[in-house]
Amino acid sequence: MNIEEIVRKVVEELEKKPKPDHSPKKQESETDIVPFSEEREKGVKEPHNASAIERAQSITPARIGIGRAGTRMRTASYLQFRIDHAAAQDAVLKDVSDSFLHDMQLHKLETKAQDMKTYLMDLDAGRQLSEDSVKWLQENGDMGMDVQIIICDGLSSSAVEANVKDLLPALMQGLQLKNISVAKPFFIKRSRVWVQDEVAALVDCDLVISLIGERPGLNTDESLSAYMIYRPTAKTVEADRTVISNIHQGGLAPVEAGAHLSELIGQMLVAGCTGVSFARKNSLKS
């Protein structure tokens, strides 16, 4: 076999091999999206009382009747658990977006908690306004109103963004229809419930209400609470506050909560108190 025949054979063999793929490679950060259904799983096989499981699942978001695989939960249940846990962590660690505050026309104040670690570890830091925020409130706050509304991220920024858009207008409208004067609301970053005491003292209002994100759980990361206090002082304790919790689409709907809170606040202003004292006065009336 001469050299030309050898070369021809080699060329033929090379042409039979698949050509290398020169298309752009997928970046490492890109991942395939795997669809996952979040419908509640009925994982108990051949249950003794299927109707009891269905009834329980219909009245609570708790993980009831999800079944198991050996000694462990089923894969779908485990994945849903991880999703809910991640959402709860995000609710605590992420900030309320500036675009949301702009759309809601909420000026942003801050507490003495300069970062999330301080906020979580030092309770007092989240209960006191920063020096700049105190100065702004003294110069720009609406003084001497019946009610001051403050929006607080608390432990769930997700709760603020999910509910305040509907709750705040309903609350303000309800108060205005009752001829109750309302100061312009504002937002306080990394704040706790007791910051409302300092705010009330600075703006000299009769009642302050804090709309604050609740600690997220594995059932929802969007639950909001409303804490109300009438004329707080240095001697104010938790029993002096009234709280309406579980405000979210799966609990007390935000619009309904706004109407209910405005009615409640109207009664509190007449009674001149909140908390246990208000509950006691209401029980005596009934």
Point out the annotated binding site for adenosylcob(III)alamin.
Answer: 193, 214
What does the DSSP assignment read for the chain? Answer: --HHHHHHHHHHHHHHSPPP--SPPPPTT--PPPP---SPP---SS-TTHHHHHHHHHH--S--S---BTTB--HHHHHHHHHHHHHHHHHHHSPPPHHHHHHTT-EEEEBS--SHHHHHH-GGGGGSB-HHHHHHHHHHS-TT-SEEEEEE-TT-HHHHHHHHHHHHHHHHHHHHHTT--BPPPEEEET--TTHHHHHHHHHT-SEEEEEEEPPP-SS-S--EEEEEEES--TT--GGG-EEEEEESTTSB-HHHHHHHHHHHHHHHHHHT--HHHHHHHHHHH-
Instruction: Mark the binding-site residues, compressed into ranges.
Output: 193, 214
